Amino acid sequence: MKQKIQLLPDGILIFPGPKDKRVCLYDIVFVKGDDYCIHLYLKNGRRLSKVVSLRSLWVWLPRELFCFPHKSYMVNLSFVSKCLPYERRNYELSFTTIKEHAYASERRAPVFIKQWEAYKKAQKLKAR
């Protein structure tokens, strides 16, 4: 049975269940989607699995912070540290807080790189 997600005004995602799981969306480094569930990789190194689709989570996330570099991955741009070429014209994404990697497909990589560069530029302007 798929769970319905809720987003509170303070940025807390609630995954309902016998024990509601609450996750701050700013703690999500990336999300990997499988056939029937998602795996959330958090900045503290923890990994949570939930029975929801990647697309159902996507509707709750801010587009200026999260993007889809691959059909099976959603990443938080604030944690991306590197984007390097990988097998068959794909890209491997490294993160600042965890050792796991996500991937960008050849087709989606140009959009991801453009969005990531714009995010980094906006952060530099905010820091001034």
Residue-wise pLDDT for 81-112, tens only, equals 999 999 888 999 999 999 999 999 999 999 99
What pLDDT shows up at residue 3?
57
Domain interval for residue 112: 6-127
Rounded-to-integer distance, Cα 49 and Cα 84, Å: 27
What pLDDT shows up at residue 1?
47
Question: Is residue 63 situated within a structural domain?
Answer: yes
Cβ atoms 82, 95 nearer than 8 A: no
Take residue 25 and report the two structure tokens written for it: 């969306």
**Phi, psi for residue 21 in degrees, rounded to 5:** -105, 125
What pLDDT shows up at residue 2?
52
What pLDDT shows up at residue 110?
93
- The pTM assigned to this predicted structure is 0.89
What pLDDT shows up at residue 56?
85
Rounded-to-integer distance, Cα 118 and Cα 40, Å: 24
**Spans in the chain with pLDDT lower than 70:** 1-3, 18
Torsion from C-alpha of 85, 79, 110, 55, nearest 10 degrees: 110
Kindly report the CATH number assigned to the domain that includes residue 49: 2.40.50.1020
Take residue 10 and report the two structure tokens written for it: 């303070």
Question: Is residue 1 situated within a structural domain?
Answer: no
Which residue in 106, 105, 98 sits closest to 81, CA to CA? 98
Rounded-to-integer distance, Cα 106 and Cα 30, Å: 19
Question: Is residue 80 situated within a structural domain?
Answer: yes
Number of domains in the chain: 1
**Phi, psi for residue 87 in degrees, rounded to 5:** -50, 145
Which residue in 29, 48, 45 sits closest to 94, CA to CA? 29
